[in-house]
Structure 1
Amino acid sequence: MNQKPATIKLLWEILIVSTRLGLTSFGGPIAHLGYFHEEYIRRRKWMDEKSYADLVALCQFLPGPASSQVGIGIGVIRAGVLGGIVSFLGFTLPSVLALILFAVVLQGLNISDTGWLHGLKIVAVAVVAHAVLGMAQKLTPDLKRKAIALFALVGTLLWQTAFTQIGVILIAGFLGFLLYKNQKDDSDSAMSFPVSRRFAVICLTLFFGLLIVLPILSEMTSIHWIAMFDSFYRSGSLVFGGGHVVLPLLEREFVPTGLLSEEAFLAGYGATQAVPGPLFTFAAFIGAAINGWQGGLLATFAIFLPAFLLIIGTLPFWNSLRRNPTIKGALQGMNAAVVGILIAAFYQPIWTTSILEPIDFAFAAILFSMLVFWKLPPWTIVVTGAIGGWLLSFM
């Protein structure tokens, strides 16, 4: 009797925190990992640094929206499958509702070059820099892991393909295995995954089953809603490399078929850049532009469903792997690689699209100081960044 109110209280806490992140997390997938790190790891200590890095490494392996999968994984670890659902809803719904509204009312609005949006990009610079520094201190304490992080940084910058991150992490894992396979790690912490292996297998079976069955159903029935669900589900299942990679894939799915005009697609792309939360919510705009708000909700469900099935289906097995002594060395190398990948993403695209003038760098330094030295909450940094960016546009 006493456990149910505690569970409801826990779910409510997850919803409040994730919704606040969903309203303030601008800057794309890597920036989201920075926001998560600040809120979930530094402030609330829901996970330790190594567990968070392990979860990030796992989500880099999986297709789909990595930052959303990390958020879902944190929710699952915190309060089971319901926790993952609540965490997803809080982080995703604000941008989904905003983009459905854009699709229905404001499709022609050009907001891609507004000053406040540029200010939010500078916020992402401060947030990601803070996250990178914190993770680097914990995950690259010696020269060997610093060298692995440097390898990941160079490799990710020089070969920018959808599969580079996966290859870099695999190589780093092999190097870590060779370098640290006999090293004891007394600081390793336990991660509790309140998901059974049986349920995990069901999720993985459902993931692959839908991937096979949906195209067949779409061809056999010619029902518009099934075809639409299939297009978004495949997009969410087969995309590696984050939210930006899914944009051209969605363009090929809907623009050549005439379901969406090129002008509407570009307007939706601009709107997606302007709202917080995951870039995969661009599906909400496309779905709403084609079939109203019902289409927006269906598209959102379809494109994020693979992320749910994959993260819930792999978490229990990941728990066993990370506890295996023969895998710990590989994980140390992989975690160091995550730091290098984050630094590479910090430069491209975050730095290169945000720091355009000396005054941008000065403003980023102010925001970074507010976050790191004065320890102000992230939402105040976001508000300051938006207002400051708007003011800078007049200078």
Structure 2
Amino acid sequence: MKHEKKSGLQVLIEILLVSTRLGFTSFGGPVAHLGYFHNEYIRRRNWMDEKSYADLVALCQFLPGPASSQVGIGIGVMRAGVLGGIVSFIGFTLPSVIALIIFAMILQGFDVGEAGWIHGLKLVAVAVVAHAILGMAEKLTPDLKRKAIALFALVGTLLWQTAFTQVGVILIAGFVGYLLYKGQTDKDESRVQFPISRTFGAVCLALFFGLLILLPILREMTSLNWVAMFDSFYRSGSLVFGGGHVVLPLLEREFVPTGWMSEEAFLAGYGATQAVPGPLFTFAAYLGTVISGWQGGLLATVAIFLPAFLLVLGTLPFWDTLRRNEKIRGALMGVNAAVVGILISAFYLPIWTSSILAPIDFAFAAVLFSMLVFWKLPPWIIVVIGALGGLVLGLLF
């Protein structure tokens, strides 16, 4: 039976409908999202072969940013070019963005400052972020040299907490990684082609690094709130390896100590994010709405996902060359190790210091951590247990 060839508009509408359905139904975090994508895009629709999908997943795991969202963007690009990537992203992301903006607007009418369930969510955050960091440390700092790079990043970002420190630490770590690991080789001989020109890819990569360097400078030169917001969200989206849970400490450091929002409002939104489908990076929509209304929510969403877009579009045409270049691989190994140190620093201050206030807090956090790591309970169940436990602790102590 001969299939009728679809027009460009029909293909885009199909991508939008399929990705939107996934946006409404994809619970469970980045790994689960990749399973949903595989089932829908590869098995059911055969939009690309298994090998191409595996290569795309490998690329997105290799880059900073929300891996599952980047895979969704990549599938859209492979199907219908850059516009296909944008449509795929909108469909997958918009349902949770709208839900979290509405939640933030409702919550602003309530005082959550002294609520016991909020303290429970703080302890959930300790367990979830500790688990994410341990997993990353095992994978990204397996040897003594990379552990030393991580330690340097930890000490540097803990002692000098400025917008420039993180970028500076990343650059130094990349140079050190280049010196230490430039002889690394890769045995993977597979090849994959992507429908984007190298010129367009180079422009996207230049824009990614340009914004990472220029936004903190622009922030210091101006007193515009939206510039400061855009910089904070863009930088957080640029430095995250390992999925949405890992962005929590970076965002908390950007917005809670600086007085943009209270710890309580921050963690209420984090709990709500666990309860909605789609990417965890949409937490930014909630934060932006709390800070500056629904317009702030949309600005924050664009800012935190923009690095993911620029990196996917920038690296797709260079992927084969990049992953075989020994010098680039070495620099990225150093950068990955530094990110682990940055996250441990942000995990201590402010997450640990604002959450673990008494022995009972540590005990409950240990229980939550065990439920997550050893009993493999889904994060949303941990959130519910944490909130209820916080209520009980508030009544008893």
Distance 1:282 1:141, change over 3 A: closer
Equivalent residue letter for 2:268: A
Pick from 63, 83, 105 the counterpart of residue 88 of structure 2. Answer: 83
* CA distance in structure 1 between the partners assigned to 2:189 and 2:387 by the alignment: 40
Q: Deviations over 1:35-75 (max 9, x none)?
A: 65x6558999998997566432xx5xxxxxxxxx6664354
What does the per-residue CA deviation read over 1:352-386, in whole Å, with 9 as the maximum and x for residues that have no partner? 11111111111111111111111111111111111
1:280 and 1:309 map into 2 onto residues whose CA distance is 13
Q: Deviation of residue 332 (structure 1)? A: 0.6
Flag the 1:390–1:166 CA change in 2: closer, same or farther, 3 A: same
Any conservation in 1 of the 2:116–2:390 contact (CA below 8 Å)? Answer: yes
Deviations 1:111-167 (A, max 9, x none): 122111111111111111111111111111111111111111111211111221111
Q: Percent identity?
A: 42
Choose which of 99, 104, 124 in structure 2 pairs with 1:99. 104
What is aligned with 1:304? 301
Q: What is the CA deviation profile of residues 268-310 of structure 1, one whole-angstrom value per residue up to 9, with x for unaligned ones? A: 885454223435534324554xxxxxxx2x3333343344444
Equivalent of 1:234, from 223, 227, 236? 227
Change (3 A) 1:303 1:124: closer
Query: Structure 1 CA distance, aligned partners of 2:226 and 2:363?
Result: 43
- The 8 Å contact of residues 141 and 147 in structure 2, kept in 1 or not, is answered as yes
How far off its partner does 1:110 sit?
1.7
Distance (Å, rounded) in 2 between the aligned partners of 1:155 and 1:338 = 12
In 2, the alpha carbon distance for the partners of 1:97 and 1:233 equals 20
Flag the 1:302–1:341 CA change in 2: closer, same or farther, 3 A. closer
CA-atom RMSD in angstroms? 4.2
**In structure 1, what is the equivalent of residue 156 of structure 2?**
155
Residue range with higher mean Cα deviation, 305-314 or 139-148:
305-314
The aligned runs of 1:323-362 (5 Å cut-off) are 323=323, 324-362=325-363
- 1:1-395 equivalences under 5 Å are 8-9=17-18, 11-17=20-26, 20=27, 36=30, 39=32, 51=59, 54-56=62-64, 72-77=69-74, 79=76, 80-103=85-108, 106=109, 109-186=110-187, 201=203, 234-239=227-232, 240=235, 243-244=251-252, 247=255, 271-276=265-270, 277=273, 278-279=283-284, 281-285=286-290, 287-288=292-293, 296=294, 298-319=295-316, 320=318, 322-323=322-323, 324-395=325-396
Change (3 A) 1:135 1:194: farther
State the shift of 1:97 in Å: 0.7
Are the structure 2 counterparts of residues 90 and 196 from structure 1 closer, same or farther at C-alpha, using a change threshold of 3 Å? farther
Q: State the one-letter code of the partner of 1:115.
A: G
TM-superposition CA deviations, 1:287-346 (whole Å, max 9, x none): 54xxxxxxx2x3333343344444323333245374233211000111111111122122
TM-score of the aligned structures, taking structure 1 as reference length: 0.67
Contact 2:288/2:298 (<8 A) preserved: no
Distance 1:189 1:348 in 2: 43
Cα displacement string for residues 209-247 of structure 1 (whole angstroms, at most 9, x for unaligned residues): 9xxxxxxxxxxxxxxxxxxxx967534433346545765
**In structure 2, how many angstroms separate the alpha carbons of the residues matched to 1:123 and 1:365?**
10
Change beyond 3 A, Cα 1:250–1:367: closer
Which runs of no fewer than 5 residues in structure 2 stay unpaired?
39-52, 77-84, 212-222, 237-249, 274-282
How many residues are matched?
323
